[in-house]
Amino acid sequence: MSKMLKLALALSSIFFLADTAYTCPDGEHGHSHAHTGTRTKRAFPQVPLQTPTRPLVWQDFNVIHTTDTHGWLLGHQHLSEPEPNYSGDFGDFASFVSHMKNIAEEKGVDLLLVDSGDVHDGTGLSDGFPPGQLDAHASNQFIKLLPYDLLTIGNHELSDGFPVAQDMLNDFAPFWNGRYLTSNVNITIFNQTLGKNVSKPIGNRFVKFLSPIKKRRITSLGVLFDFTGNAAGTTVQTVEDMVQEQWFAEAIAEEPDLFLLVGHMPVSRDKWPVVFDAIRAVHKTTPILIFGGHSHIRDCLQMDGRSMSLESGRYMETIGWMSVNLDEGLNIFDPFARTRNLTFSRRYLDQNRVTYQFHTQTNNFSFDTRDGENITKGLNKLAASFDLSEFFGTAPQDFFLSRAPFPSNQSILSLFVDEAAPVALAINNTRANFSKVIFTNSGEMRYDILAGAFTKNDQFVALPFADAFLVFPNVSFGIAKGVLDGLNGQSEDVKRALFEDRESKLYAKGSVDHIYNAWLREMSMQYNAALKRRALFGPPFGPPFGPPPVAKSLGYVTNDSCIASAGVGDDIPHVAIPFFDTPDFVGTTVPNITDESAPIDVVFINFIEDSIIKVMNQLANGTESFTANDSLPYTSLLANQIFGIFAQVAWNS
């Protein structure tokens, strides 16, 4: 019995799917599971979705790419734009991959499936596990049901504590038979034979294998950016040090037909050039394909004419596609064939059934495979076992992270500080009647709250962090009233220097909000500028310089650096998502107190304690002194419970 079949049967037992049959033996993913006969069609999406505008460009080597899925295996289920664009689930994706593998086999070309890490942290499927279980252990079993050819580790696989990293070592990595790559990530475990702790890679440092159809020789590595927020007992080697290792030199010494690199590292403005240059120093013209991640954006970069680097978004919103005609370099009658630029194509696919059916030439009757259907059923069983549909209340409207200005009645930050936190923190709190101000960093919120049922899963999605609330009790009002301005109100030069220093440190610890937000800001600005040019000068100023006339719905409008060589990357033209800057820190309205010496509570998320202490000491100017020893627990509630409690109180009338 194959490993894939054993795993499927185990899942079948766990979720009581007695009618389920998983049949994807290792190495044989080309067979069809399309429905025939009496099978019923799947319901159409509840919101009409745009159809892709053109077929994918198939060449002799093709890759489907996922990254930063963060537990979004049931897709995006709300109806507010642009959520329906990403409404496919992991079962739909499995059906898509199965059909695409069949198409590749019929065409006689290679098709690989790769992932660039961060499968933890983001929804209730990964984070809503009962006590005694591990983050994403259950949801990871469904990732094993897809025929991934290469995977790599993300920072979130290392930041949730040693037991989670150990689970990746013991359960996830071994399943992939050497194809789960952790070139610069080790874990320290006790070796029974040696009788001491040893440091070893969680997965494999590299792998060499043959492509499935054309039997091309492939050398692959899996690289993590210089992450410093990893759990004790794990180590992340810097990229510069990694390429100096003897194993690295040995891994790249023999020339393959291509290098296929996967890594949880952005393809722009990070250290892929360090890896690229180390390979190019040995192999001047060998094709190099890079699949990155981490910064949650759609991006593409070519470091030379015989390489391409692709990053495919976040949260199961985007499926990446890259293809290249490697046969261009095999022309024996052209002495310069191995040095000429290769023809690459790339595409960013909106993750939904309409996209999948268009590119596989199927319909709602023929698209679903048995494996895909059963994955969807299993995911829904898992969600039910975690009680993720527990109803807290009905959100009366959308509340946005960056699509609405702050402050405003559509801002989730305004919702948190003006309503949710004051209401929730007052419940069963002995200091509820004391005057107070409440502060948090805006990065505490991770996703929008969307109109309709607000469930346990939505609570995980909107604010997943189990941060505590602390208080400095009885602070002089004259100090407390200046804290928020002190956190946000430096001069522009000072703010810029502090911002760059803070973002650099936060990035090393895993934060990418500033990169994703900068991308959204630029996208919105470029789109609005294009609208103005189009209004002034007419339709010739179309894509990539202006919005395509067929764009109907909100979504990503990507202008990457590959647009000149490979054309527009977005599979479907969209209207750019509006973007508004928000402050780094937000707080409740300062009480109307005239006595500067009156006592007031300063309440805050423990994540920003250092910043709060620094500002308060600056404001005190020697008259008072604040240290971490002076802060006290304010409530037993954690940050990730606030919206759920508020919804039960305010959204059930």
The whole-angstrom distance between residue 617's C-alpha and the CA centroid of its chain comes to 37
Residue 13 has pLDDT above 70, yes or no: no
Residue 174, classed as helix, strand or coil, is helix
Annotate 149-173 with b (16+ C-beta within 10 A) or e (fewer).
Answer: bbbbbbbbbbbbebebbbbbbeebb
45 — pLDDT class (breaks 50, 70, 90): low
Please, what is the end-to-end C-alpha distance for the chain in angstroms?
55
- Domain extent, residue 212, equals 56-385
Same domain, 377 and 396: no
Residue 136 Rama label (left phi>0; alpha psi -120 to 50; beta):
left
Q: What is the pLDDT of residues 140-183, one digit of tens each?
A: 999 999 999 999 999 999 998 999 999 999 999 999 999 999 99
DSSP helix/strand/coil, 35: coil
Question: Which tokens sit at 611?
Answer: 């910043």
CATH of the domain at 76: 3.60.21.10
pLDDT of residue 507: 85
Q: Measured between alpha carbons, how far is 488 from 499 in angstroms, rounded to an integer?
A: 10
Helix (H) or strand (E) holding 379: helix 370-385
Please list the residues that pair with 635 across neighbouring strands: none
Give residue 43's pLDDT band: very low, low, confident or very high (50, 70, 90): low
Give per-residue pLDDT as tens, 543-556: 555 555 567 899 99
- Encoded tokens for 36: 């025939």
Report, in this order, helix, strand and coil percent for the chain, each rounded to 5.
Answer: 35, 20, 45
Ramachandran angles phi, psi of 196, nearest 5°? -155, 165
Looking at 366, 385, 404, the residue that finishes a domain is 385
The CA distance from 604 to 635, in Å, is 11
* Residue 146 shares a structural domain with residue 234: yes
In a domain, 430, yes or no: yes
Whether the per-residue pLDDT at 41 is higher than 70: the answer is: no
Letter string b/e over residues 281-293, b meaning 16 or more CB atoms within 10 A of that residue's CB: eebebbbbbbbbb
Instruction: Please state, as a whole number, how many other Cβ atoms lie within 10 Å of the Cβ of residue 232.
Output: 9
CB 396 within 8 A of CB 59: no
- Same domain? For 398 and 378 the reply is no
Ramachandran region, residue 110 (left: φ > 0; alpha: ψ -120 to 50; beta: rest) = beta
Query: Last residue of some domain: 385, 408, 423?
Result: 385
What tokens does 556 get?
């990503």
Please check whether residue 94 is in contact with residue 45, taking contact to mean a CB–CB distance below 8 angstroms. no
Regarding whether 359 and 404 lie in a shared domain, the answer is no
Final residue of a structural domain among 328, 360, 385: 385
Q: Indicate whether 134 and 163 sit together in one domain.
A: yes
Residues contacting residue 556 through CB under 8 Å, at least 6 positions apart: 298, 313, 317, 318, 348, 523, 570, 574, 576, 577
| Predicted local distance difference test score (pLDDT) of residue 526 | 92
Q: What is the spatial distance between Cα 329 and Cα 619, in angstroms, rounded to a whole number?
A: 66
Place of tokens 């494996």: 371
Query: Percent of the chain at pLDDT above 70?
Result: 89
In a domain, 558, yes or no: no
316 inside domain: yes
- pLDDT tens profile 555-569: 999 999 999 999 999
pLDDT at 541: 56
Query: Does 109 map to a domain?
Result: yes
Selection from 12, 45, 2, 1 nearest residue 371 by Cα: 12
Extract the tokens encoding 541.
């100023």
Please say whether the beta carbons of 230 and 236 come within 8 A: yes
Q: Report the distance separating Cα 168 and Cα 119, nearest Å.
A: 11
The model's pTM is 0.90
**Lowest-pLDDT range, 251-255, 397-401, 618-622?**
618-622
Q: Are residues 311 and 423 in the same domain?
A: no
Same domain for 237 and 91:
yes
Do residues 587 and 483 touch, judged by C-beta distance below 8 A? yes
Token digits for 405? 């200005």
Give yes or no for a contact between 460 and 128, defined as CB atoms under 8 angstroms apart.
yes
Before 407, cis peptide (omega within 30)?
yes
Q: Domains in the chain: how many in total? A: 2
Q: What are the DSSP calls for 135-147, one per residue? A: TTHHHHHHHTTS-
List helix spans (H) across 415-512.
Answer: 421-425, 456-462, 477-480, 483-488, 492-508
Task: State phi, psi for 426 to the nearest 5 degrees.
Answer: -80, -15
pLDDT above 90 covers what percent of the chain? 80
Q: Based on the domain organization, do 170 and 316 belong to the same domain?
A: yes
* Residue 309 and residue 434 in one domain: no
Which pLDDT band holds residue 613 (cuts at 50, 70, 90)? very high
Q: 480: burial class by Cβ within 10 Å (0-12, 13-18, 19+)?
A: buried
Q: For residues 69 and 76, give the distance between their C-alpha atoms in angstroms, rounded to a whole number.
A: 12
b or e along 355-390 (b: 16 or more beta carbons within 10 Å of the residue's beta carbon)?
A: bbbbbbebeeebbbbbbbbbbbbbbbebbeebebee
DSSP symbol at 149: S
Q: Please give the pLDDT value at position 334.
A: 77
What CA–CA distance (Å, rounded) separates 193 from 643? Answer: 50
Strands (E), 244-294: 258-264, 288-292
Q: Report yes or no on 22 lying in a domain.
A: no
Is 44 domain-assigned? no
428 and 357: one domain?
no
pLDDT at 542: 56
- Res 546: pLDDT: 54
Tokens at 22, concatenated: 């998983």
Same domain, 147 and 165: yes
User: Residues 278-312: pLDDT tens digits?
Assistant: 999 999 999 999 999 999 999 999 999 999 999 99
Sequence-ordered list of residues with C-beta below 8 angstroms from that of 413, at least 6 positions apart, any chain: 401, 406, 407, 442, 445, 582, 586
